Amino acid sequence: MSLGFLTRTRGRGRFDITDWLTWIYLFTAIFLMFGPVLWVVLSSFKTEAALQEYPPTLLPLAPITVSVEGYEEPLQLFRVIAGEHEGKVLAQVRRIGLMSQMVDPANPAEKLQVNINDRVPEREFALALENYTALFDRFNFGLYFWNSAFITVVATIITVLFNSMAAFALSKYQFRGRTIVFVLIIATLMIPPTINLIPIYLVVAELGLVNSPWGVIWPAVATPTGVFLLRQYMLTIPDDLLDAARMDHASEWKVYWRIVLPLSAPALAVLVIFSVMWRWNEFLWPLIVLSRSENFTLQLALNSFQGELQTAWSNLLAMTILTLLPITLVFAVLQKYVTTGIASSGVK
Amino acid sequence: MFAPIAEAAGWIYRAVFNLLEWPMLAIQRLTGPQRIAWVFLLPNLVIFGAFTFLPIILSFFYATTGSDNILLADRPYVGFQNFSVLLNCENYLDPNSCQRDLFWRAIHNTGWFVVLQVGFMILFSLITALVLNQNIPFRGFFRSVFFYPVLLSPVVVALIWKWVLQRFGVLNAALEGSGLPTVNWLLEADWAFFWIIFVSIWAHMGFYVLILLAGLQSIPSDVYEAAEMDGASKWRTFSRITLPLLMPTMAVVVVLSLIRAVQAFDEIFVLTGGGPGSATLLVLQFIYETGFAVQPRIYGIAAAASILMAVVLLVLTLLQLRVTRNQAEGGST
C-alpha cells in the first residue's frame, strides 16, 4: 500500500508516483466538490422542456426557430436524418399524427412530408433567463430575499452589539460573580437550541413572536461562541489604554465604543462572518417559527417549493443558484479571513 | 468606491453610540464605574435567560406532562409516562418491538449514521489535510475547493444533490451511458442511507480539513528533518511522527463531529424527508415531527426525546472538554 504520498511534506524535484496520486486526488476532489454545483448552474439556464430530456445535454440548448416567408409564427428547425429528404434542414409547419409537414426555408412554397422519427431538432446554445425573471414575477423571490436579508443583517448587528458588550464586561471589569456568569454562558455551548425546541417555542409564542422575523432573530443573538471569541480577544487589549481614557473623563460607555470596539475589529469581523453564515443558512428554527409563506426566508421558500408535487425544476434550480450566490460572493471576497478565522477559533 | 461607504458607516456608528452616551452616563452615576459591568452584561443575560435557561427548566415540565396544549397550565402531570412510552421496548435492537417504533428506528438510524458519517469523514478529512499540507501549487485554491460546500445552506446542499440523484438525473445518465444499471437512488432504502452519509460528508468535510490542516502546520518542521536524517521511511514518519503529534487535534475533530452528527437534520430532511419509509429518519427529525409537524402535536413525547438526546450530547460535550483540556496540557509535554 503506497501511503507515502500522504506523508510527504516537501517536493523532491522530480515528478514521481506520489505526485501523480496527489494530483489525481485533487482533481477528483475538484470534480466532486464543484461538479454538482456547476451542474446545477448549467441546469438552471435550461428550459423546463430541456430539463425533462434524458439523457441530459451538458450545456443549455434551445431549439432554433426561423421566420419563413408566408408564415406569421416563427417555425422550428429540424435536421432530417433518414428517409427521402435525408440531410436537409427543414422548418416544421405543423405536425399531423406521425407525419410532420415541413418546408425548406430557402424554398417555402413546396411542402414536404417527413416522418417524425426521421428528424431531430436543430439546437443552439441559449440561456433560459426566464427561469430567473419568473422568480421575481411569479415566485415572490424579492420578498423572500428581503426577509432573509432583514433577518441576517438585523440579527448580525444585534449579535455583535450584545456579545461585544458582554465580552467587554467580562474582560475589563473585576466584579463579584464574573466567573459564574462566564461559566454559565460558556456552559450553554453544551445545550444546543435543537434540544430545547419546544420550550423555546413556548417563550416565542408567549411573546407573540410566532410568524414574525423577530421570533427568528431574538432566540439566537446571545451566542456563547461570540461572547467567548470576543472576550478572549479583548483580554489582549492593555488596560492602560482604558485607564488613560478614564483619566480624560471618558465615560465607561465611551471607553467601550471609542476604544475597545475599534481595537477588537479583527475578532468582530470573524463574528460578523459567522453570524451572516449562520443566519442566512438557518433552517430548522425558522421552519418552526415561520409558518405563513409571506414571512418565509429563502431557505424556507426553497424547501416548500421542492416539497410541492408540481415542482418546476427550472425555477427551483434558478432559485437555488440565487440563494447560494450571496454567500459565494462573500466567500470569494473574504475567503482568506473566513478560512483563517475558522481555523484559529475552531468554531462554525 | 468604498471610501464614501466606509465614511458613511463610520458616521452612523458615531451617531448611534453618541446617542446612547447620555443615558449610559446617567446609569453610570447610579451604579458607579465598576457595577456598570452588569449593565453591559444585561442584554445578553436577558436573552440567555429567556431563550436558554428558562427553556431548559421548562423542558422538564413538558417532558412530565401530557396533552397537546402548549400552555403549561393546561397540561396535566403524567410523571415519567412520556419516558416510559419512549423506552417501552421488548428488544431494544428491534424497533418493531417498541411501543414507539419510529423513535427506536430513528435511534438505530442515528447510531449508524453517526458511526459511518464521522468515521469516513475523518478518514477523508485526514487524507485531504495531508495532501494539502504538501508543498503544492495553488494550495489556497484547493483549500477553498474543499471548504466551499461548508458555506452552502443545508437546503441548497440537499437540492443540489437531489437534482444530481433524481431518477432521470445526471448520475443515472452517466451510468447508463457507460452501460451500468441505473438506480432510483433516493427511493431505495440502502442507497438513500448511503447518500445521506455521502452528502453530509460532502457538506461538512471542509471544516474539519481546515482544523486538521492547522494541526499539521503546527508540527515543527525540524522534527521531520531529524526523521529524514535518520533515514526513516515515509510510512514510518507518518505513523511515528505525524499521527501522534496530530492526535490532540484529531480528538477535538472527533468529538466536534460526533456532536454535530447526533444533531443531524437539515440536509437530510430536505433530501429524503426521512424516507423511503423511515429508512433515513434521524432523532432530531422525529422530535421535530412529533412536536411540530404532525397533528396533534405531542409536545410531551418530543420534550422527553429531547432530554434523552441532551443526555447523549452532554456526555459527548464533557468528553470534548476533557479532550480539549488534555490537549492544552499536552501542548507542554
Give the ipTM of the model, two decimals please: 0.83
Which own/partner pairs from B220-228 qualify as long-range (CB within 8 Å, at least 24 positions apart)? B221/A9, B224/A9
- Higher pLDDT: A227 or B32? It is A227
Is the confidence at residue A2, as pLDDT, over 50? Answer: no
Min Cα–Cα distance to chain A from B271, Å: 10
Q: What is the CA radius of gyration of chain B?
A: 26
Tell me which residue in A43, A202, A221 faces B163 most closely, judged by beta carbons: A43
What angle separates helix A298-307 from helix A141-172, to the nearest 10 degrees? 140
Residue-wise pLDDT for B68-116, tens only, equals 777 777 788 887 888 888 888 777 777 777 778 888 899 899 999 999 9
Q: Is A54's CB within 8 Å of B291's CB?
A: no
Is the confidence at residue A160, as pLDDT, over 90? Answer: yes
Q: What is the CATH number of domain B81-330?
A: 1.10.3720.10
Tell me which residue in A190, A302, A328 faces B159 most closely, judged by beta carbons: A302
Task: Report the pLDDT averaged over residues B123-137.
Answer: 89
Residue-wise pLDDT for A318-347, tens only, equals 989 998 898 888 878 777 777 776 666 655
Tell me which residue in A196, A221, A306 faces B59 most closely, judged by beta carbons: A196
pLDDT value for A1:
38
Instruction: Read off the pLDDT band of A4 (50, 70, 90).
Output: low
B163 lies within 8 A of chain A by CB: yes
Is the confidence at residue A9, as pLDDT, over 60? Answer: no
Is the confidence at residue A39, as pLDDT, over 70? Answer: yes
Is the confidence at residue B286, as pLDDT, over 50? Answer: yes
Domains of chain A in sequence order: 4-43 (no CATH), 62-125 (2.30.30), 132-345 (1.10.3720.10)
Give the integer Cα–Cα distance in Å for B4 and B16: 18
Residues of chain A contacting residue B316, judged by C-beta atoms under 8 Å apart? none
Closest CA to B172 of B185, B188, B159, B158: B185
SS3 content of chain A, % helix, strand, coil (to 5): 60, 10, 25
- Higher pLDDT: B42 or B322? It is B42
Q: Which of B6-10, B189-193, B234-238 has the lowest mean pLDDT?
A: B234-238
Task: Report the pLDDT averaged over residues A262-290.
Answer: 89
pLDDT value for A345:
61
Write out the three cell numbers for A207.
411573546
Mean pLDDT of chain B: 86
Q: What are the residues facing A125 on neighbouring strands?
A: A61
Is the confidence at residue A149, as pLDDT, over 60? Answer: yes
pLDDT value for B331:
45
